[in-house]
Amino acid sequence: MIKKQFVFITLLFMVVSLSAVSVMAEGSGKQKSSPFLITGKLPHLTKLLMQQWESPELKLSEAQKAKLLVVRKATISGAQKLGKEINALESEVVEGSNSGKKPEELRSIVQKIEKLKGEATMLHLSCIYNTSNILDQQQLAFLTK
């Protein structure tokens, strides 16, 4: 009798554990992915700037702030637009894969994603370049330390 109870409890535990893993896996598939090809290796300078905007150590001039805000606005709006397109296309790929489409049937969508992520990465690189040209060497060193 105890052996049967032990087996039942073990099976119940396994079912609950597998259900939890399944729910977590489904939830993770709904997260937005990065619109960039290179993630975690390039600095997000405008984000760092916003955190240090009024820092007496950074010493941003009003002229620099105005230029940096233009760069930030262009970068964020461009990345958001591309991100929406990328996420929609990624959802199409996931749906197609889950419905049994052949990889070749999904190739054109994957190629669109590849192109858009390349554009987003170039936007990010332009942001880094433009921001670096607005800041002086001490400010850039302070920001990236």
Q: Mind listing the pLDDT tens digit for each residue in 112-129?
A: 999 999 999 999 999 999
**Domain boundaries along the sequence of the chain:** 44-144
Q: What is the pLDDT of residue 30?
A: 58
Q: What is the pLDDT of residue 23?
A: 38
Structural fold of domain 44-144: Helix Hairpins (1.10.287)
What is the amino acid identity at position 97?
S
Phi and psi (nearest 5°) for 121?
-65, -40
Cα(111)–Cα(79) distance, integer angstroms: 18
DSSP at 102: -
Average pLDDT over residues 7-28: 42
Q: What is the pLDDT of residue 144?
A: 86
Q: What is the pLDDT of residue 13?
A: 44
* Number of Cβ atoms within 10 Å of the Cβ of 12: 10
Give per-residue pLDDT as tens, 31-66: 678 899 999 999 999 999 999 999 999 999 999 999
* pTM of the predicted model as reported, rounded to 2 decimal places: 0.75
Closest by CA position to 50, among listed 72, 34, 29, 67: 72
Cα(145)–Cα(32) distance, integer angstroms: 29
Q: What is the pLDDT of residue 18?
A: 41
Model confidence band, residue 106 (pLDDT cutoffs 50, 70, 90): very high
